[in-house]
Structure formats: structure tokens, C-alpha cells
Amino acid sequence: MTHQLSRRQFVQGITVAGLAVSTGVWAKSDKLSAVATQVTSLKGSQFDLTVDEAMVNYTGKPRIATVINGSLPAPVLHFKEGETVTIRVTNRLKEQSSIHWHGILLPFGMDGVPGISFKGIEPGQTFTYQFPILQSGTYWYHSHSGFQEQTGMMGAIVIEPRDGETIQADRDHVIMLSDWTDANPMMLLNKLKMESGFDNYQMPTATKFLADVRKNGWRNTLADRKMWNEMRMMPTDFTDLSAHTFTYLINGTNPASNWTGLFSKGDKVRLRFINGSAQTIFDIRIPGLKLTVIGTDGQLVEPVTVDEFRIGVAETYDVLVEPSDDAYTIFAQNIDRSGYARGTLAVKAGLSAPIPPLDKIQWLSMTDMMGDMSASTMAKHAKTEYGFSTDMHVDMPRTNLDDAGVNLRDNGRRVLTYADLHSIGKANQEQRDPTREIEMHLTGNMERYIWGFDGLTFKESKPVRLAKGERVRISLVNDTMMTHPMHLHGMWSDLRAPNGDFQVRKHTIVVQPAQKISFDVTGEAGRWAWHCHLLYHMESGMFREVVVD
């Protein structure tokens, strides 16, 4: 596996650039063409959004995308804390649609999840969302209907604080990351169910085996391979779909087309990173620049300076940079190191900077597989048989927050971890002790591609019930070898440190393999969705309803 841009991606990028003259999308069609050269910004308290189809071309082949107001990504919506917004959404598709306002606190009837909080928006109909803005920061919105999010229906939200920004910056850029596929998403899901590893091109090879023999000896290498074979698992199960299926985009622009954010020398630049992808976890760095993280999921944190950070699907991170050269590469490689999204910060359009090579992969470790279990117990546990929908169980999960995660460990760079994040402001004042704890396991069967909570898919489960105003500690134990970004609608998730202290307020929490994560929530009346934000996992069962009476 090469660690440079693959020939397929390179040729696709050149082809698209030729079609679009560096703008990334557009083909002749009677359909509307989606244009994302500069994403539109809409401001105020009254908005009209139209969901429709458009032709796009990211790979040299025209395809139909799902867009809002003719744009992929959708327009950036600017709200102001303290105001009430009215958003009229018209559906011009031939199927039902919806918009979920991710991370926004609102009445549950406005949350936008068909079958949970409302009926959905039927073809030809207009639904009016109306809710007060009770927070500020960086958020996003997306469809919660079928695979419309995968086919392009997502956009950024920027909310100005009631008393104005406390973070001063000369430039402010939204960086919306997404993953595009020319394939039909439902066909991809069916392929995953038939052969879950069909897109894993990082599997162990004979070359890797011989390299391990030279490093660790025959006996240790054979024992290692035997253990993985007995468990019927792969040490490279980082993601389900890779760069062989996806083209990675920044603000609707592929790597060859090079989205560019401008600055002047001496500027302090605020970058609002949003992972709006369907299935891809990204690791982000800007070679030559330090990144000062000032916020996550819309909430300000004590500033922490790093070289790199991981952003799970649906998370947001705000960072400050102070560029001094003419151009810098925004480099977002995917978790399995098969591809990347790329953009540029520059003093003028047309400039670029060197693109770093993709990092080499690291195998998942025993800790990723079984947590804090001893080696002897692991060997015994490897032979244990589990149920139809569960192929692993972690008895002794790890609880540390200071691990950057697989493929980021010991890479020579300063990498952000959850242990570095500390909320400031109102979040610290709202903490109170929970009255009970709910523990749930994130479960799956990779071979059958079934995902769920406690071994149950959504169709098999009953709602989780909370009382209005009740303070509850929720602990999630990841029994799988994959990383799951978990999103509970309608309520803040207040992450706790291993000792129980409050750490950081978030709306989406990434749970690593064999890890136990605990967070506190306060019940908000309504019916709410709770799910993994890897879309194909959610569609395969890792979804629950939470009812707050």
C-alpha cells in the first residue's frame, strides 16, 4: 500500500480539475449543478432552505447529490444567541427528507428525526422549524433521513455569542470535512453485510509477516497471527470504508481542486473544523503551524496548543493559528491512512504548500482489543463464543482519556487527547452529582455487520427512560475494535475524568476500542435519538430512543 496519493485519486483529481477549473464539482445535466467554490453564508433570523438534487463530479463521473439551496455543502447559517430563528425547509425530492440541528438545544419537536421527534418532510411539502438560540459556537446541520447525509446534505452553523465574540481573530474560516462516494450507499451497506472487510486494503500481507519475523522472531510472529485468526478479527479494522470508496472533501472540494482560505500576514486565523462525513474519522494537522484548540462542539475550552488532533464524525473543533509564510497545507488524513482531504491557507488564491505523505499504519493493540485484561486471560477469552449479534465482550475496559488512539500513538507529534480538554464558563457552574448510573455496551458482529447497544439492534430494543431534570451518569463500554462517535440528541454530555471529575462538555463523544467512557446528562423532556454517528453503523442497529418524561 503506497503512502502517497494513489494513482486513482490523482487521475480523478486531475480529471475533475479539468472539468471544473479548480472548483471541484459540475457536469452537464438538466439537473441543477451544485457549486461549492465559495459556500454561501446566510444571516438573520428568517431562513428559507430547499432540499433538491444536483449533479456533481468529484471523480470524473457525474453523479446525483442531495443538496440544500443548490450547494454542497449547504449554506453556512449564522445565528445569534438569544434570538429565535424560523427556518422554512421545502422538500423537492421524490422521497421524505428532514434536517437535524446537530448539538442545538431545542424543543424535541424541532429536532428533526423522523419517527422520533416528527413525521418527516414529505415530497413537495414545507416544514417550518422554529426555536430559540440558547448557546453559541460552531455546530452543523444534516439530514436524518436514509443516506441523504452521505449524498451531500450537510452544512455548518456559526452562532455569535449574545455579547459578541470573546475570541478575537482577524479571519474566520469554516472547514467542513466530508466523504463522497460515487456508489449507491445502500449497495455499499449490502456489500458490508456480505463481506465486512471488502474495503480493507490494510490487511496483513506476506511482506508484513516477514518484516515482523525480522523484528520479533518466528515464534512471536506466528503466535501473534494465530491469536488474531482464532478471534476471527483483523488488527487493521480501523474503518469500514476507505479511500478506495471515498473521495475526501473540504468545503465540497476534492484534494486536487484545493480549497483555499485566505489570510494576510500577521493575521490571527480562527478555523472552525466540522466533521460532516458519513463514516470517516480524520486526523488533522497543518505542517509548519501550531494549532491552539479553543473550543469543541461549540463550547469554549482552556486553550491548548498541539500539532495534530483527531476529529470524530459529527465533532467540531475551533482552533487558532498564526501563519507567517505564504501558504500552508490543511492536511486531514483518514484514520486508516488510505487517503486524505486537503486544502490550503494562503495569502492569495492559487498558492499551495507541500502535501505530507500519509502516515504508516499501526496495528490495533491488545489494549484496543481487551482493555486492561491480562495476556493469559486474553488468550482464554479469544476462544469464547458470543451471540449472533456480538463477537466480542470486554470485561475490564480501560478508562483513560489520555490516549490519542490507534495510528496516532508515538508519532513524534503533540496530539490532542480528551484529557487535554477542559471546559470554561457556564458548563463548570452547572455540574451536580448524578442520582443514578446507566451502563451500556457498544456491541457488534463485524462478520455479519450488525451493530447495537447491549447486543440489541434498534428494532429489538426498548427506549432508555429518564425523568425530566434528572441527573444521570451514563457509562458506555466499547466491546468492539472500532471507534464509535456517540451522539445523544437534545442534551449536553458532560464527560467525566476517570476519577469522576468534570472534564469537558460535548454533544458527540468518541469511544475508543475497549474503552469505558462516562458522562453526565440532565433529562430534557421529549423523545430523543441516541446513536453512533458512523452512518452505516447507525443504519445497522447502533441506535436507541431516549424518552424523558
The rounded distance, in Å, linking the Cα atoms of 39 and 54 is 15
As a whole number, mean pLDDT of residues 399-427 equals 96
If one compares 514 and 1, the residue with the highest pLDDT of the two is 514
> What is the residue-wise DSSP string for 44-77?
SSEEEEEEEEEEE-SSSS-EEEEEETTBSSEEEE
pLDDT of residue 220: 60
Over 70: is that where the pLDDT of 377 sits? no
Over 80: is that where the pLDDT of 388 sits? no
CA-to-CA separations, 243 to 194, 239, 247, in angstroms, rounded: 20, 10, 6
pLDDT of residue 21: 27
Over 50: is that where the pLDDT of 333 sits? yes
If one compares 90 and 393, the residue with the highest pLDDT of the two is 90
pLDDT of residue 39: 86
The answer to whether the beta carbons of residues 327 and 351 sit under 8 Å apart is: yes
User: Whole-angstrom distance between the N-terminal and C-terminal Cα of the chain?
Assistant: 53
Over 70: is that where the pLDDT of 265 sits? yes
At 450, is the secondary structure helix, strand, or coil?
Answer: strand
How does pLDDT run across 151-202, given as a tens digit for each residue?
Answer: 999 999 999 999 999 999 999 999 999 999 999 999 999 999 999 888 887 6
Residues near 186 by beta carbon (within 8 Å), at least 6 away in sequence: 147
Q: How confident is the model at residue 26 (pLDDT cuts 50, 70, 90)?
A: very low
Q: Return phi, psi of residue 7, to 5°.
A: -60, -40
Q: Which CATH architecture describes the domain 422-548?
A: Sandwich (2.60)
pLDDT of residue 222: 59
How does pLDDT run across 214-249, given as a tens digit for each residue?
Answer: 666 666 645 555 554 555 557 777 899 999 999 999
Name residue 416's beta-bridge partners.
none
Q: How confident is the model at residue 18 (pLDDT cuts 50, 70, 90)?
A: very low
pLDDT of residue 515: 97
Going by C-alpha positions, the residue among 512, 540, 244, 533 that lies closest to residue 364 is: 512
As a whole number, mean pLDDT of residues 48-76 equals 97
Residues near 115 by beta carbon (within 8 Å), at least 6 away in sequence: none
Q: How confident is the model at residue 27 (pLDDT cuts 50, 70, 90)?
A: very low
Over 80: is that where the pLDDT of 99 sits? yes
As a whole number, mean pLDDT of residues 283-307 equals 98
The count of C-alpha atoms lying within 13 angstroms of the C-alpha of 372, restricted to the half-sphere facing its C-beta, is 8
pLDDT of residue 357: 97
As a whole number, mean pLDDT of residues 238-265 equals 96
450-453 and 340-346 strand pairing:
unpaired
CA dihedral over 10, 16, 17, 19, signed as positive or negative = positive
CA 157 to chain centre: 16
The answer to whether the beta carbons of residues 443 and 452 sit under 8 Å apart is: yes
Q: How confident is the model at residue 17 (pLDDT cuts 50, 70, 90)?
A: very low
At 465, is the secondary structure helix, strand, or coil?
Answer: strand
Domain 7-164 has CATH 3.40.50.970: no
Residues near 123 by beta carbon (within 8 Å), at least 6 away in sequence: 91, 92, 93, 94, 95, 96
Residues near 318 by beta carbon (within 8 Å), at least 6 away in sequence: 137, 138, 167, 270, 271, 272, 273, 293, 294, 295, 296
Domain ranges of the chain: 7-164, 422-548
pLDDT of residue 235: 72
Over 80: is that where the pLDDT of 330 sits? yes
pLDDT of residue 16: 37
Q: Return phi, psi of residue 532, to 5°.
A: -70, 135
543-548 and 464-466 strand pairing:
parallel
Q: Which residues of 56-67 are buried (b: 16+ CB within 10 A; e: fewer)?
A: bbbbeebbebbb
Average pLDDT, rounded, for the chain: 88
How does pLDDT run across 193-215, given as a tens digit for each residue?
Answer: 999 888 887 655 545 445 554 66
Topology alike, domains 7-164 and 422-548: yes
pTM of the model: 0.89
If one compares 376 and 431, the residue with the highest pLDDT of the two is 431
Over 90: is that where the pLDDT of 471 sits? yes
Going by C-alpha positions, the residue among 357, 354, 375, 358 that lies closest to residue 366 is: 375
pLDDT of residue 426: 86
Peptide bond into 73 cis (omega under 30): yes
Over 80: is that where the pLDDT of 470 sits? yes
% of the chain surpassing 90 pLDDT: 77
If one compares 114 and 376, the residue with the highest pLDDT of the two is 114
Going by C-alpha positions, the residue among 318, 459, 340 that lies closest to residue 2 is: 340
